[in-house]
Structures are given as structure tokens and as C-alpha cells.
Amino acid sequence: MSGQNNSVFSKGILLTLVFLLACMCINRTEAQTIQPYVSADQYNWKSGEDATSLLLSQVQILTEQLPGLVSGTPMHDNTLRRIAYFKAIVVEINKGASIAEALDLAIPAAATLGFSKEASYTPRITLKALHTETRILLTN
């Protein structure tokens, strides 16, 4: 692997672990914490081209991991969720949405594992963690 691909792979693995840890460590005290609102305009977003390239690279890495995961397990579903979300973001960017808008518009794809399950299937906190993870991935 080249240095850049290795860096993308390492960042992807790190973000996957952060996402899974966030999903496992959620507790009731978080709901009581007031977090300041940050406007999407305050982030230094990657270009649409860079974001698309990075997301498609992540989709490829995650797709390669799927055969090693047991279907229906949380790890399998979370991998499918990330693939669906990343693909949907790329579609929205290609339609002309900003990256910030694309992250929001793609949430239904993540909530339903690519529209294959009912929308209530994914907990809101899981979707928020995925949104935050992806925002971090797509900002400079």
C-alpha cells in the first residue's frame, strides 16, 4: 500500500473503533449534557472531490471486510450502515449538495442499512455517532 492509502486505511480503522466504542459506551448522562451548537459553516470541509474519493475508498475497505463478518451481528450491521451512509453521501454530493447537507440528507440510508430495513431500526444515538465520525473524516 502506498503511504496515502495506508493513512486512509489507518484513519478508517481508527474511526471505526471510535464509532463502535461510542455505540457501546452510551449512557443516560449524555442526554443531560448541554452541548453547544456548532454551525456547519464553521468547519473546514474537504472539497467535494476529496470527500468523494475518501468515502469511496472507505466503502471499498469496508466491503472487503464484510465476508469475514457474521450476517446479522452488530458488527456486520454497523459495517453495512457505514457503507450505505458513505454511498448515500457521495450520491448527494454528486447531486450538488454541500458536504454538510449531504451528511444530513444521507441519514435515512444509514438508518435503514441502505433502505433494506425499517427506518426505526437504528437508534438515534448510533446515527449521531456515525454523523460525527463522518464529519471528522471529511474536515481538514
Check: pTM over 0.95? Answer yes or no. no
Give the separation between CA 12 and CA 41, rounded to whole angstroms: 24
Domain boundaries, the chain: 45-140
- Would you give per-residue pLDDT tens digits along the chain (140 residues)? 455 555 555 555 555 554 554 444 444 334 434 444 445 667 899 999 999 999 999 999 999 999 999 988 999 989 999 999 999 999 999 999 999 999 999 999 998 876 666 555 688 899 999 999 999 999 99
The CA-CA-CA angle for residues 45, 51, 54, to 5°, reads: 130
C-alpha neighbours within 13 Å on the C-beta side of residue 9: 11
Question: Rounded distance, CA 113 to CA 78, Å?
Answer: 8
